[in-house]
Structure 1
C-alpha cells in the first residue's frame, strides 16, 4: 500500500495552474499554425495539438503524482475559454477531466506516478478534447465560424461538425495521436528528466 499523501498541497495547485496554462499555450500555437490546413485536417488538429503538449502533461502529472491533476487541467482550460467568451467549454473540459480521472481511479495511489496510466488518462481526456470545436459549432452555430473564417471555410467546417462519422473519427484520431505523443514524451522523460532527477 502506498504511504504517499494523496492530498494536493498549495505548491501542487500552483504547479498545475502554471503547467495547464502552458499546455493551453502550446495547443493554441499548434492550432494556429495548422489553420491553413483546417479545411482538410480539422478532425486531426486536436490530436496533433495534444501530441505536442503530451510532454508537458506527463511532467506535471508524474511530478505531482496525486489524484485531481487532470481534472484541474480541464477546469483551468475551461475557465480560460469561459473568460474568452465561450462558457460552454467549462463544463465540457471538466467532463474531459473527469473521464481522465476515471481512468486513473483504480489502484493504490501508485498509478498517479505511472507513465502508462497517465498516458491513457491524457489520451482519454484528448478523446473529448477532439470534439470540443464541434460542440462549439453545434451550440453557437455559424456565427462563431463566420467571425473567424471565410464563408467557404465555414461551410467545410460545418460539414465536419455535423457528420457523426467525422465526430467519431475526431475522437479516435485524438485518442491515438495523444497516446502516441505520450509514448514519445515518455522516452524523453526517461532519457532526460528522470535521469537528471527532475522527476521521480
Structure 2
C-alpha cells in the first residue's frame, strides 16, 4: 500500500458496500423471522449471502480503519432503526476485533480476513440474540415500540435457550467462512490483483 491512510474515495466505497451489506442483512433477517424457530439464524444467513460483499470491500479498501468504519456505519444504522444498544455495541466490538485480526495480515491475507469476518459476525449475532435470554422484558418492550408483533417476540423469547443460541452462533461462524470462500471463487481475479490471494498455475 503506497498510502495507508483512508482517502475520500475509501470512505465512499466503504459506505456504499456497508449499505449494500445492511440491505442484505435486513432481507435475510426478515426471511428468517417468519418462523420463530429460525429467527436466531438470521445472522447466519446474512453471513453467507453478504460474505462476498464484505470480502470485496476488504479488497477495495485494504487499509487501517476500513473495517472499523464499516462497523461504525452498521452500528449507527442498527441503532437508528430501533435495534437497541446491544447490537451496535457488539458490532463495534466485533469490527475492532476484525480490524486487529486483518491488520495482522496487513489486510491482504485471505485467511485472516476470513477469520476476522467470522469473528465480527459472531459478535453481532451474540449482541442480537444473547440479550433475548438476559434482558427479555427490555427486548419485548423494544420490539413493541418498533411495531413487531408481540406474539412473535414472546414465542422467540420463550423457546430460546443457551444450547439453541450456541448452535446459532456456530452456524453464523460456519456461514461466514463459507461466504468468504464463495467470494474467493466469485472474485478470484480481483483478489489476485489486490494481492489478497496468490495466483496458482
Question: Do the structures match in fold with TM over 0.5?
Answer: yes
Whether the aligned pair in 2 keeps the contact of 1:126 and 1:174 (CA below 8 Å) is yes
Aligned to 2:127: 132
Query: How far off is 1:59 after superposition?
Result: 0.7
Secondary structure at 1:148's aligned position in 2? coil
Aligned to 1:144: 142
Aligned to 1:68: 65
Aligned to 1:188: 186
**Count of residues in correspondence between the two structures:** 189
81, 94, 106: which is aligned to 1:84? 81
State the alpha-carbon separation in 2 of the partners of residues 32 and 131 from structure 1: 18
Whether the aligned pair in 1 keeps the contact of 2:82 and 2:142 (CA below 8 Å) is no
Whether the aligned pair in 2 keeps the contact of 1:129 and 1:174 (CA below 8 Å) is no
State the alpha-carbon separation in 1 of the partners of residues 159 and 62 from structure 2: 37
Whether the aligned pair in 2 keeps the contact of 1:16 and 1:72 (CA below 8 Å) is yes
State the alpha-carbon separation in 2 of the partners of residues 172 and 23 from structure 1: 21
Aligned to 1:19: 17
The 4+ residue runs of structure 1 with deviation greater than 6 A are: none
- The 5 A counterparts of 1:26-65 are 26-37=24-35, 39-65=36-62
Secondary structure at 1:98's aligned position in 2? helix
State the alpha-carbon separation in 2 of the partners of residues 56 and 120 from structure 1: 15
Of residues 70-79 and 130-139 in structure 1, the stretch that sits farther from structure 2 once superposed is 130-139
Query: How far off is 1:194 after superposition?
Result: 4.9
TM-score (norm 2): 0.82
**Any stretches of 5+ residues in structure 1 without a counterpart?**
none
- The 5 A counterparts of 1:109-124 are 109=106, 112-124=107-119
1:100–1:194 Cα change, 3 Å: closer
Query: How far off is 1:173 after superposition?
Result: 1.4
